[in-house]
Each structure stands twice: as structure tokens, then as C-alpha cells.
Amino acid sequence: MAASPTQIADLTWYDFVERVKANPIVFLPIGSVEQHGPHLPLATDTLLPQALATAVAERVGGLVAPPVAYGYKSQPKSGGGNHFPGTLSLDANVLIGLVRNIVNELVRHGVRRIVLFDGHMENQWFLVEAADLALRDQAMLGRDDVKIIKLGYWEFITKATEQVLFPDGFPSWELEHAAVMETSVMLHVRPDLVRSALIPDGPAAAFPPYDVYPFDTGPIPDTGVLSSAAAASAQKGEVVLAQVVPDIAAALREAFGPE
Amino acid sequence: MAASPTQIADLTWYDFVERVKANPIVFLPIGSVEQHGPHLPLATDTLLPQALATAVAERVGGLVAPPVAYGYKSQPKSGGGNHFPGTLSLDANVLIGLVRNIVNELVRHGVRRIVLFDGHMENQWFLVEAADLALRDQAMLGRDDVKIIKLGYWEFITKATEQVLFPDGFPSWELEHAAVMETSVMLHVRPDLVRSALIPDGPAAAFPPYDVYPFDTGPIPDTGVLSSAAAASAQKGEVVLAQVVPDIAAALREAFGPE
Amino acid sequence: MAASPTQIADLTWYDFVERVKANPIVFLPIGSVEQHGPHLPLATDTLLPQALATAVAERVGGLVAPPVAYGYKSQPKSGGGNHFPGTLSLDANVLIGLVRNIVNELVRHGVRRIVLFDGHMENQWFLVEAADLALRDQAMLGRDDVKIIKLGYWEFITKATEQVLFPDGFPSWELEHAAVMETSVMLHVRPDLVRSALIPDGPAAAFPPYDVYPFDTGPIPDTGVLSSAAAASAQKGEVVLAQVVPDIAAALREAFGPE
Amino acid sequence: MAASPTQIADLTWYDFVERVKANPIVFLPIGSVEQHGPHLPLATDTLLPQALATAVAERVGGLVAPPVAYGYKSQPKSGGGNHFPGTLSLDANVLIGLVRNIVNELVRHGVRRIVLFDGHMENQWFLVEAADLALRDQAMLGRDDVKIIKLGYWEFITKATEQVLFPDGFPSWELEHAAVMETSVMLHVRPDLVRSALIPDGPAAAFPPYDVYPFDTGPIPDTGVLSSAAAASAQKGEVVLAQVVPDIAAALREAFGPE
Amino acid sequence: MAASPTQIADLTWYDFVERVKANPIVFLPIGSVEQHGPHLPLATDTLLPQALATAVAERVGGLVAPPVAYGYKSQPKSGGGNHFPGTLSLDANVLIGLVRNIVNELVRHGVRRIVLFDGHMENQWFLVEAADLALRDQAMLGRDDVKIIKLGYWEFITKATEQVLFPDGFPSWELEHAAVMETSVMLHVRPDLVRSALIPDGPAAAFPPYDVYPFDTGPIPDTGVLSSAAAASAQKGEVVLAQVVPDIAAALREAFGPE
Amino acid sequence: MAASPTQIADLTWYDFVERVKANPIVFLPIGSVEQHGPHLPLATDTLLPQALATAVAERVGGLVAPPVAYGYKSQPKSGGGNHFPGTLSLDANVLIGLVRNIVNELVRHGVRRIVLFDGHMENQWFLVEAADLALRDQAMLGRDDVKIIKLGYWEFITKATEQVLFPDGFPSWELEHAAVMETSVMLHVRPDLVRSALIPDGPAAAFPPYDVYPFDTGPIPDTGVLSSAAAASAQKGEVVLAQVVPDIAAALREAFGPE
């Protein structure tokens, strides 16, 4: 291994000073420790945004902060549910506070362009709150020049890529938990962590249009995988990255404008 | 790379279920993103406890949870200070909440023996509070069979190892920030991340017996390194690990008792 | 007017005691004070769930608690955005605490079947957290017989009703903010509050696949209406209620099981 | 029904913009869901301040925000106690946070004159804290032109009106819970919600000069009514409004000064 | 001086163990640091409840915990206002948390009968919340045998004593801030701290029936004393104590019942 | 007794105004209610910093605020442990909030130089957080001229004084809990509170290099005293004060600079 020029974790503080002078986009990958079926590791939702954020950062001269490795409570319809063993989740106020703190700290050291790069669907709204509160903190400190972008990388997958991933029809991003897309990208970026022999096949889960607490485990597949992952392949994962990474890079360049 | 049998991040939930049946010790490394001079990376305090916790886990059949990568605010006397660029720190309530949440989640899934494995001196007291509040939460839920151990790996270094590290006399663990011990262990476990050419030499910092807020930067060395790291070597790092890892393993076996 | 048998607000405590004996489903409508274009009132997201929850309550012998009249911060893609005048929103922790408190209070008085009846898309995840924390509180108090259902009424609209509402194609529930569906139902249940002459027509908003903070107001229509409401009618509103109300009632009967 | 020009709930955001240009006084009614004897509905403490605030708003060209419908925990000496069925109360921090949020949101949209219009004696001190914290928030944002008035409408009842209400002597506002004054005003403004046949008569409660937790229910009348309501009448309610409404309007005009 | 048998501060832990065996009533005096005119010290509201609680404790075999020396924000109508120099006040959540913590700690060590002995009118409602939350904590821990009494000592002053204090008519307890009663009791218990030459005389303050934030300082006397203290005397203070102390003792014996 | 010119508690607000004009250093003693063996009172950690802070204040023209009488949870290695009867401790967030509030209040009234004068080792890190958050609050209010110093008086004891206290060798400040130093100073400043006949003698406690929760009481001496106090004397206490008080005064004069 060698120190990566994109990972804040690997930089010395002297490096950090130099890099921040260029007003880089700083990416904060936000994941989870969540069941991902019999074939994917618990950290899937952290590994993927870290890999993708790094690839995007390389294109835009950005930096990647150490990921938030724990996320919000897994829900049946998008993650199988928090009751699955090994799923280690945070309360809303802790996740909000954690991301708010990190954003404020980056700003304190001169960063002004921040991407909350989400890998776990359940995190979304708490990232919204973290961004809003951090901007309020900055307003109270007299600063109004910070811009935060929140994204889920899957939202950038185009219809064309969807076609490659799901030639027989796209279920929905919620049901894609540990299924074709996530498995394919993992096969591409971390094949060592995929138990290929255990990739499950089975019908997509069907949920009622409401949510029950404590969870009604009836409609949840035993594996925790919400639709078949059988059609996953490293090649499909490569296609996803080849499309999504430059598209995110382009979108961010436009959204943040010139440095 | 390959899936590690000690890292919870790498396990599937099926693996997790199997492993927890044996009532393993689960290690939570807790670090920081903190300046470590011109030669060590910002994540040093996370990398070290992760490496050591993993080595201990291998000896005791334990598991390592994804590390807490952000820690409490760096202080001049033990870390140079929070004002150094790249130092990204958490408020006390966020760090306490984060560790409390993770402990409670491990317990929810059947873990009963937890080690808060600290790599950043400033975290200590907030880990005490997190442990206390998590045990209170468990008491409120009717559980009283959880045991939590908090440790800083440096506390296990024996006089004999101190002698190897500091043949000319031991300064203090506080002043050892980014100095001989940390640099040596990094040279042993992650030499790719050490900028050897930049290892600083200089007199140990001298602080008054009080603390000033906002920091008085007068007594803080410009490099952020609190005493000379010049005598560091990978060999010394190896000596540290060779002593500390089995000693921690033995101590934990005794402290936790039979499974 | 007369005291309604479904509204907790209208009951005396003697009535409440009688009613709770039958283990009724209690509905908590949760709305917002949010811009809804030039034609709908700021309380639209509270009025609608209150009306629908009441209609469902009448069918299942349930009770309706006073609505939560303030909701989470409006977002561009689902509500136009929090910057629109008159939009009065809550921080996440306040909304979570409020709903958690009300649920716990209902349970304290003997209620065991609770529906969080959402009328404001942005509330969703905070209701999840409120439900989870209230159940944890109850577990700490030794109770495990509470069931909470969270729903957004629009999720129950069938394909057939969608067809009636949008004969030319359905945009998405997010873009339906203050548009055909909400306007139609308001025309049916509170025509006095709809400024019919001002119902806007215009192309649907188009947003990039990411979110910007502070909001990028570029893609947001000036009216705050995310797609045309021109095709709204009281009749369509009647169709929605005629389908949705019995379907929700049936779903709840099944989900909660016999009293 | 028709859209009310005083209710923010009924306005569109375009209306809101127009109205706020005139720097109106904005009223926030704050009530509770609390037992009010066998004859008054649980929402009495919300309905009354909403009715009175609306009447005052009409006189001063003000606006009324959607009421805070849940309040602080009922106490034996002023409300019978939180143990009475149907009494749904908030923790202090939730009530404080809720009112603080709403005040800050009004200010964000240009409102500078706010009245916390209390209908539930137990809310008082938490409104003080909400006002203080909101003003601190505004100070942190650099604003110092906000004025907040907190009032309980009963404090404006003159000796002369007291004489009409209680020709045989005034007990105390605390003991007036669900008694002559509240019943009379309800008979005037919402007679449909008063169970006249059940208006209780009975001696005033007598409490010791201390408070016991958990409540000592010994001194609390079974009905929850703290002194006789038998002498209530719609006519008395009318007298109260005829005096209090113009007096509050006059007081606010003087306290806020010219627009 | 000598160790007092009533003050927990003075006991060793061995003494504490012995004393708690008898299930004593434990008093927590709760005061403030608040302006008390030109003649009384800032700690008046702490000194008085400490003195009185100690006198009562001596009669009932009770213990007095170290007082809470900081209280809630002084208000114009009952304390002159928080803007007076030297007035050091707590936010509601801090005061609530502090008292809740202390109560829970006493219970943890076996205390079951606790008196929140208030010396500062503004503290009252936050003590209610602290008591309620502590009892909830205890319920979550499975304990239901704790009884908490909250009292303001002035509430025990009888009409007869009022007559002695105010032969010319009683203003109100609110206006008694730093006036006849407090000055008299201070002259009796801590004459060394009373600046007798500076005891102010002046008309009672007259406030409107509402509260303004930021404070309207118009109606507040310049001295911060809300009504004349000229008639104060040590003798009157003695009368107050001679009546109030045994009455509180008797009330507590009855309220707590036999040990 | 007589009003002390150094104690804020004893001042009137008129005095306070006068004193603050000179920009005095204000000392906040922060202690605990914690077991201190069979011979020292539970308030030892509050009495000592109050006595020392007062002595220093007299030298520098400073003021002493009412002490924070409750502190953070006692730990086995530095205080014997929180399980000892009579030990009444605060949660971290309460202690942080309390000190943060008091600091902010002092600043509000014009104080700019504040010393957090700690008497209880376990408080240290929470004082760091309180100072940091208070300074952030002040920054949000636009103030940047506040300086806070945090100190533990024992850190000022010189090697020479150590020699007097421990002619046979110094254990460590942690093990000095209720031992030679604290007992000596108490014998000097509050001999009335020391049970001299009960001063314990015994070997110093020996702890493993980690901490166990719930506490492992094995290594904790039954008395709660961590090393022998037998060599304590009032004379030694006098020596400590004679050295420490002027040294702290000199250090503060230098650290704060000219008024």
C-alpha cells in the first residue's frame, strides 16, 4: 500500500494545508453496518460510497474524509430491517450530530465545498438535517460561503445503465438492497469480500403500503436480500462505475461552479 | 485482499450469527483525525488501535467492529491542539452518543464482552461516560450481564519496553504524541504511510501546569510533535507489538473470565 | 358544530375512558405549515391527513388525536423548499420528540394500537425514529404490547385511481406537491380553502439527482407547485377518498388483527 | 366555512407575504390535551386561546399561527393532574423546543412581533424559556429587533369581570380549572362542546402548601374539576370576552408600540 | 466550626451509610445567584432554603444535601430580572438535568424520601419536571418506592405570620422579592450579610398582566427590590422561622408517613 | 461571620458592578460529593478548591463564584469509585452544561477572565468541553475577548513540596485520593471536618492498566482511600498552601496578562 493522495486519513497535516488551498471538494462517505444477505459483507454500504467517492475525487481533484461507518437503522423495505444480526445502527440524533460536527470541522479548516456521499438509503433525511444545522451553525458564526451537496450515488444511474443491470425490468432502488446493483459493484471493486457461491436468487419482496413497528417480519425474505441478486456480475459493476463516476464528477463541477 | 475473520465489516450476517454464538470479545477501536506532525498521517490514532485490536482479537478469538474514526478535540498537552489543520474532532456529546449507541447495538445482537480500545488520549473520559450510560440503558432494559473494558494500549507498555523505546529516559505518554512510540509502531505496521524523511527532531514541549482556552500556542512546537521522534524505528515498533499484544490478550482473558 | 365522536379533542375524559376500553386504533395526523402554491392553504398537509384519518377512524371505530400541525423542513424536490414564505418547520429532534411524547402518552392511558398518519412527505423518517424510540421507552418500562403503524395516505392510491387522477401519465408522488392529487382532495374536502382561480398550470419541475444546501432555487417553480394542478377537480378528490379510505381501513384491520 | 383572514393555516404563501409586509402581530395559541371534567372537552385549553387570540387578532390586524395543541404536564393544583385519562402532555424540553422553533421560523420569514398566547397554566415557565432561547438564537444570527410577549388571557380579567363571574367570591385562577370561567367562555364560544347536563357542582379542592410526586390523589376531586362550575353561563362567557379581548388588544398595541 | 450531623457535605461515607439505614428525609435546597437589591447578597435564595431546610432536618432527623446554588433565570415580576448584574442563571434543561441527576443519585444509594426545598420562585416548574423525569428513570429501573416533595418555604407562612410581617397588608409573594420577608429572615439567620443601612424603601412595583422579552425594564425598580423592605426586622424573621419550621416538619411527617 | 469581599455569593449586585469594573479574575471552584475514606467529609473536593481559590483570589484581587458542588462520576483509580455510598455524581452532559452556563453568564455581565478551579480529578475533561462550548457560544454572539484557564491545584505542587509531603516517595496524584495531600490540606483548612482518629493506613492500591465497567471492586481498598494517609499533618497542609497559592497567583497573573 501507499499513502493515497485523495484520502484525508493518509495525509499529514502539512499535506492537508497544501491541498485545502485549492478549495477542493471534500467528500464524506456515509455508510452503515447492515446485513447484506449471505454473500455481501456488513460494511457494503460504507465500502461502496468510499470507492465511488474516491473515484470521483480523483477526477475533480477532491479529498475523501474518513467515512462515517455506522448509519441509521435499517428498515424492512430498503434494508431488510434492523433486527438482522450484525446490523449496528445509530439513533437519529447521533447520526445528525456526527455529520454536523464533521461538516463544521471541515469548514473550520477552510473547506467550503462538501459532498455528503451516501451509501445507505436510510441515512438520507438525517443528512438533510445535518446539512441544515451545520449551515445554521455557520450562519451563527457569520459565515455564509459554504455549499453542501448530498447525494446517493444510485440516483445517478441512467436509464441506459439500468437497462444493462436489469434487462428484464427494474424493480426499484429500495428493493435493490444487496441485489443486482450492489452485488455487481462489489464484485467489481471488492470481489474478495463477495461470497459468490452464496448469491441468493428468489422473488422480490412485496411489502404493504405502510410500515409496522415492531417490524412485521412476514414479508421480509429470510436472507435479508430484497430481490434476486443472481444476475449480478463484475462486468455490470464496471458498467455502473464507468457511467456513474464521470457523471457525478460532471454534476459536481457544475453544481459547485468554478473554484 | 480477502475477507478477514476478525473484522465485523467483512463478515456477512450469517457469519456474524455463527461467531457471536461463541460469546466473543468484541473490540471497538476508537481513534481520531488529528495532526501527527509532518511524518505521520492524520488517521494515526485510528490505524494503531485498529491494528493492535486486530492482533489481540486474533489471539482471543475476538471480533473487531468498524473503528470510530473521529475522536475528541485534540489538546495541546497530549495532541498539539485542535487548531492544527486537518484535525477533525467531535463534541463530547456526539462521541459519547456514538460509542453508547454502538455498545448498545452489539448487546442487542448478543454480544456481552466489549473492549473500548482507545488510540487517542483525549477520548478517554468520554468513553467512560459512554460505558456508564450504555450500562444504564441495559439496566433499564433489564439486562445486567454486560461487561465493558476500556483501555489505552500504551498503558500496557512495560518498563522493559519503555527501556527499549527510550533508552535515554521516558518523557511521558502525553508528550509521546507523534513521537518515538507512535512513529515506531507506524513504521512497523504501516510503513507506507510514514514520511520517514520528515521525522522531526526537537526538544520536548514544556507546558505550564494549567490549560488556556483559546489555546496558548506559545509552548506548542510548530510541527505539532510534542517530543523528538528521531529515535523511532520499525524494530522498536515490532518490540512494542510483541510485548503489548500478548499482554493485552492475557489481561482480557483474565478480566473477562471464561466464556 | 357538534362534538365529534372520533376526535379526542372533543371528548371529555369520561368519554375517553369509555372509548379506550374497546382498544381502539388511535390516529395521529402529522402535517406541516408549508407553502402549497397560490391556490392551497399553508395547512394543506395537516388538513388532508386529518380528514382522511377521521374518515378511516369512522370505519374502524377509531379515535383521532389532535394533529401535529408543524412538520419537518420542506425540501425542494417534494415541497418546494423551506425558504418559501409561510413555511414554518421543525428541527428533526423537536419533531421526533413531539411524536415520541404523544405516542408514549397514549400508551400510558391504555392505547396499544397507534397510526402515525402522515400528510407531509418530509416527515417520514422522523416518524420512523419517533416510533422506534417510543417502543424503546416502552421496553424500558417493561411493556411490549404496543403496535405502531406509520403510513402516508398517498401510498394507498391504486393504479386505477392513479389512472383517474393522471390520465396522461403519473409524474411521481414527490412532484405531486400542491398539484393534481392534493388540489383535488382539497376541492373535495375543503373547497372553501381552495383559490380555484389561481390553480397554476405549468411544466413539472426537473431536478438534478442531488440536493444542494443552501437550496439551489434554480429548478424550483416560482409558484412552489412542482407540477401542473390544472387537471384537479373535486370529483377526482372524491374518487381518491372513495378508494383510499376503505383500503386503509381494511389494511389496518388486517395489520392490527382482532381487538 | 371560508378561509379566515386571521389564520395562517388558511392563508396561501402569497397571502402570507402580503400580510407580513405590514409587520403584523402574530399570535401563537398554546394549549393542551387535558381533562376538563365531565362537561368540557379535552382540547378546552387549546380552543379558548385560539378563540381569544383570533378575536384579538381581528382587532389589531394580526395573524394567528396554528396552535400548539399539546402542553406541559397537568398538575393537581392547577389542572387536576397528569394521571387523568386523556391527558396527553409533553416533556419540558419538547415543549420548549417546539415553541422556540416556531418563533424562530416566524422571525425567519420577517415577523418581528410575536405573542405566546397561553391557555394552559402549566405551560407558562416553559414559554419563558422558549422565548429566552429563541432570542438567544436570534442574537447569534445577528438580529435584535424581535419582541415576544407571553400572556395568559385570564390575567387580563378585571376585578369588575371577576365580580360578574364570582359574585360570591373568587377562589383563585388555579382552582378555576374547568370551573366557572372556563365553562362560561366555552358556553359562549363553543356551546356544542359543553355537556351542560354534566356540569359539576362541588366544594373547591383544598391542597396542602407542597406538591407530592407521584401525585397524592387524596385532595383531587374525582371529577378533575377543582371548584364548582355550577354558576357558569354563556352570558358570563360573553362578559369575559367583551372585556378581555379589547383590553388585550389595547395592551398589545401599547406594548409593541407603533408598527 | 464542627461537622454538622445534618449536612451530607460534612459526613464521611461511613456516616452516610449509617444515616441512610434509618430512611431519612433528604432535603435538597435549590437557590440561585440573583440580585437582591442593595442590601442582600446574591446568594440569598440559596442561603435561606439551606437554613430552613437544615432547621427542619434537625426536627425530623433528616439530611441536607449540598444546595443547588444556581437557579433559573430571574424574571422581572418575581426577581427583578435576569439583566441585573451578578445574576447568574441556568438554562431550563441544565437545571432540570442537575436536579434529576441528584435525585437519581440519592435513590441509587438508598434514599427514598426526598424534598426539593426551593428558595427561588423561578425554579418551581423546572423542579416539577426534574421530579417527573427522575421518577420515570426509576420506573425504567424497576423502582416505584420513591416519594418526592417539592415546596417553596414561603407557601407555609400562615395568615397569622403574614399579619406580623405585613401589618399594613400583604402585597404578594412575587413582589416580596428582597423585601420584608426575605430581608427579615436574612436579618435573623445571616445578619452579617445584610447591609442594613441600604435597605430600600419605595413603592411596590406595578407590572402589566403580560411579560415582554427582551424585558421591558420600565416597571422594574432601579434597585431590583419589588416592594419596600423598610419594615423588615430580625424579630420578624424569627417569627417566620418559629412558625414555618415546625409546620414544614409536621407537614412532611404526615406526607411521608411513618418510616 | 461577615460578608467576604471575594465571594460573589456574599456581594450585593451593586458590589458586583463595582468589582467587575476592574476586570477581575473570577474563579469557579468545581468539586464533587464523593467518598473520601473514613476520615474526610464527602465535600472534600469542593471545600479544597474553594479554600485555595479564595486564597488565590485574595492575592490577585479576584472573585470566587459559588462552587459547583457536584462533579463527575468517581472512578476506582482516582476516587475509589461511584459505587461508594454518599457519592453523588453528575452525568457528563449535565456537568458540561452547568459549567458552560455559568461561564456564559459571567461573560454576559462583563467578566472576561475566568478560572475553572478543579478539585476533583474526574471533572477535568468535562471542563475542557465546557470551556470549548462556551467559547463557541461567545463566538456566535460575536465576542472573542474571553480567556478561560482550567487548572487542578495539585498540578502546581512542586517537587520540593512533594518531598515534604512524601519523604518516602510520591505514589501518583491519582492514588493520592483522600490520602496524604488531601488529608493534610484539610487538617490545615478545615480541621473540624477531619476525623483524625480514623485516618487510615494501608498499602497503596494497585490497579491493572485497564478499566472495567461495571467496576471490578477487587483492587479497591475497602476504605475507599487509595494510599496511606497516615503521614498527613496540618503542617504539611500549610506547606502545600504556602507554596501553591502564590504560585497559582503568579501563574495566573502571567497567563492573563495585565488587566
pLDDT in tens, chain B (259 residues): 788 999 999 999 999 999 999 999 999 999 999 999 999 999 999 999 999 999 999 999 999 999 999 999 999 999 999 999 999 999 999 999 999 999 999 999 999 999 999 999 999 999 999 999 999 999 999 999 999 999 999 999 999 999 999 998 888 888 889 999 999 999 999 999 999 999 999 899 999 999 999 999 999 999 999 999 999 999 999 999 999 999 999 999 999 987 6
Listing DSSP states for D125-182 in one string gives HHHHHHHHHHHHHHHHTT----EEEEEEGGGG--HHHHHHH-TT----TGGGTTSHHH
Residues of A in contact with B16 (CB under 8 A): 42, 85-86
pLDDT of residue E93: 98
The minimum CA-CA distance between C198 and chain E, rounded to whole Å, is 40
Residues 6+ apart with CB under 8 A from B165: B157, B180, B181, B184, B231, B236, B239, B240
Q: Which residues of E are known catalytic residues? A: 34, 36, 45, 120, 122, 177, 182
Those chains having 3 or more beta-carbon pairs within 8 angstroms of chain B are A, C, E, F
Residue F169: exposure state from Cβ atoms within 10 A (0-12, 13-18, ≥19)? exposed
Please tell me the total number of residues recorded for chain D in this structure. 259
pLDDT tens column, A135-194 = 999 999 999 999 999 999 999 999 999 999 999 888 888 888 999 999 999 999 999 999
Residue-wise pLDDT tens digits, F140-158 = 999 999 999 999 999 999 9
Q: Strand, helix or coil at E109?
A: coil
Residue F16 has pLDDT above 80, yes or no: yes
Placement of cell 507506524 in the chain: B186
Q: Chain D contacts of A142, Cβ < 8 Å? A: 142
Stretch (H or E) spanning D113: strand D113-118
- Only one residue has cell 402515525, namely C116
By residue count, chain A amounts to 259
Q: Which CATH number fits domain B8-205+218-253: 3.20.20.70, 3.40.109.10, 3.40.50.10310, 1.20.1200.10?
A: 3.40.50.10310
Residue range E232-237: mean pLDDT, rounded? 98
Contacts of range F203-210, beta carbons closer than 8 Å, 24 or more positions apart: F203/F227, F203/F228, F204/F171, F204/F175, F204/F228, F205/F77, F205/F175, F207/F76, F207/F77, F208/B251, F208/B255, F209/B151, F209/B155, F209/B156, F209/B251, F210/B149, F210/B150, F210/B151, F210/B155, F210/B156, F210/B251, F210/B255
F122-144 confidence digits (pLDDT tens): 999 999 999 999 999 999 999 99
Residue pairs between chains A and B whose CB atoms are closer than 8 Å: 178
Q: Give the residue on B whose Cα is nearest the Cα of A194.
A: B3
Of E58, E55, E32, the C-alpha closest to E44 is E32
Question: What residues of chain E lie within 8 A of the CB of C141, using their CB?
Answer: 139-140
CB-neighbour burial class of residue A58 (10 A; exposed 0-12, middle 13-18, buried 19+): middle
pTM: 0.98
Å from C159 to nearest chain D CA?
31
Pairing of strands E63-64, B63-64: unpaired
- Alpha carbon of A88: minimum distance to chain B alpha carbons (Å): 5
Cα gap B238→B243, rounded to integer Å: 9
- Check if C156 contacts A (Cβ < 8 Å): yes
Element (H, E) at D244: helix D234-256
pLDDT, residue B170, reads 86
**pLDDT tens digit at each of 259 positions of chain D:** 788 999 999 999 999 999 999 999 999 999 999 999 999 999 999 999 999 999 999 999 999 999 999 999 999 999 999 999 999 999 999 999 999 999 999 999 999 999 999 999 999 999 999 999 999 999 999 999 999 999 999 999 999 999 999 998 888 888 889 999 999 999 999 999 999 999 999 899 999 999 999 999 999 999 999 999 999 999 999 999 999 999 999 999 999 987 6
C133 touches chain D (CB under 8 A): no
What does the alpha-carbon distance between residue E35 and residue E85 come to, in Å, rounded to a whole number?
7
Distance CA A234, CA A190 (A): 10
How far does the CA of residue C16 sit from the closest CA of chain D (Å)?
6
> Which pLDDT does position A259 carry in this prediction?
61
The answer to whether F117 faces chain B, any CB pair under 8 Å, is no
Q: In whole angstroms, what is the distance from residue D43 CA to residue D69 CA?
A: 8
**Taking CA atoms, what residue in F is nearest to B139?**
F214
Nearest CA in chain A to B72: A101
Q: What is the pLDDT of residue E172?
A: 85
Strands (E), C83-204: 89-90, 113-118, 147-152
C-alpha cell at A138: 455557520
Distance from CA of E144 to the nearest CA of C (A): 11
Mutate to test the interface with C, among D12, D95, D196 (most CBs of C within 10 A): D12
CA atoms within 13 A on the CB side of D27: 30
The span from the CA of E223 to the CA of F218, in Å, is: 59
By percentage, how much of chain E surpasses pLDDT 90?
A: 93
- C142 vs E contacts (CB less than 8 Å): 142
* pLDDT interval class at F53 (50, 70, 90): very high
DSSP designation for D38: B
* F135 has a chain B CB within 8 A of its CB: yes
Q: Do chains D and B touch (3 or more CB pairs under 8 A)?
A: no
Exposed / middle / buried, residue C204 (Cβ in 10 Å: 0-12, 13-18, 19+)? middle
Cα nearest neighbour of A15 on chain B: B38
Instruction: Quickly tell me which residue has 416538619 as its cell.
Output: E249
pLDDT at position C2 is: 84
pLDDT at F188 over 90: yes
pLDDT band at F176 (very low <50, low <70, confident <90, very high): confident
The beta-strand segments (E) located in C103-241 are: 113-118, 147-152, 211-213
- E strands, B166-253, are 211-213
> What does the pLDDT read at residue A148?
98
C142 to chain E, any CB pair closer than 8 A? The answer is yes
What DSSP state is assigned to residue C228? -
Instruction: Decide: D47 and D32 in contact? Cβ < 8 Å.
Output: no
* Helix or strand holding residue F151 (H, E): strand F147-152
Using the Cβ of F201 and the Cβ atoms of chain B, whether some distance falls under 8 Å is answered with no
Mean pLDDT of chain F: 96
- In tens, the pLDDT along E99-149 reads 999 999 999 999 999 999 999 999 999 999 999 999 999 999 999 999 999
Spatial contact of E89 and E34, defined as CB atoms under 8 Å apart: yes
Q: Report which of A193, A224, A249 is spatially closest to residue A76, judged by C-alpha positions.
A: A224
Q: For chain B, how long is the longest CA-to-CA vector?
A: 56
Residue E118: closest C-alpha in chain D: D210
Other Cβ atoms less than 10 A from the Cβ of E258: the count is: 5
Residue at grid coordinates 409558484: C223
E192 shares contact with chain F (CB less than 8 Å) = yes
Residue A26 has pLDDT above 80, yes or no: yes
Reply yes or no on whether the pLDDT at F171 is more than 90.
Answer: no
DSSP assignment letter at E244:
H
C140 contacts on B by Cβ (under 8 Å) = 137, 140-141
3-state DSSP of F218-243: CCCCCCCCCCCCCCCCHHHHHHHHHH
Buried/exposed code over B165-201 (b: 16+ C-beta within 10 A; e: otherwise): bbeeebbeebbbbbbbbbbbbbbbbbeebbeeeebbe
- Whether C171 shows a pLDDT value over 90: the answer reads no
Comparing C-alpha atoms, which of E188, E183, E174, E236 is closest to residue E41? E183
Whether F139 and chain A come into contact, CB under 8 Å, resolves to: yes
Q: Is the ipTM of this complex over 0.90?
A: yes
pLDDT score for A125: 97
Give residue-wise pLDDT tens across range C101-114: 999 999 999 999 99
Residue F169 is predicted with a pLDDT of: 86
Nearest-Cα residue of chain F relative to residue A140: F140
Torsional sign, CA A114, A115, A121, A125: positive
Q: For residue B240, what are the contacts with CB-CB under 8 A and spacing of at least 6?
A: B157, B161, B165, B181, B184, B185, B188
The shortest CB-CB distance from D105 to any of C46, C67, C89 is to: C89
Confidence check: pLDDT of C259 > 70:
no
CA dihedral A99→A102→A106→A109, nearest 10 degrees, is 150
Q: How many residues does chain F have?
A: 259
What does the pLDDT average to over E136-165?
A: 97
What is the C-alpha separation between E247 and E153, in angstroms, rounded?
10
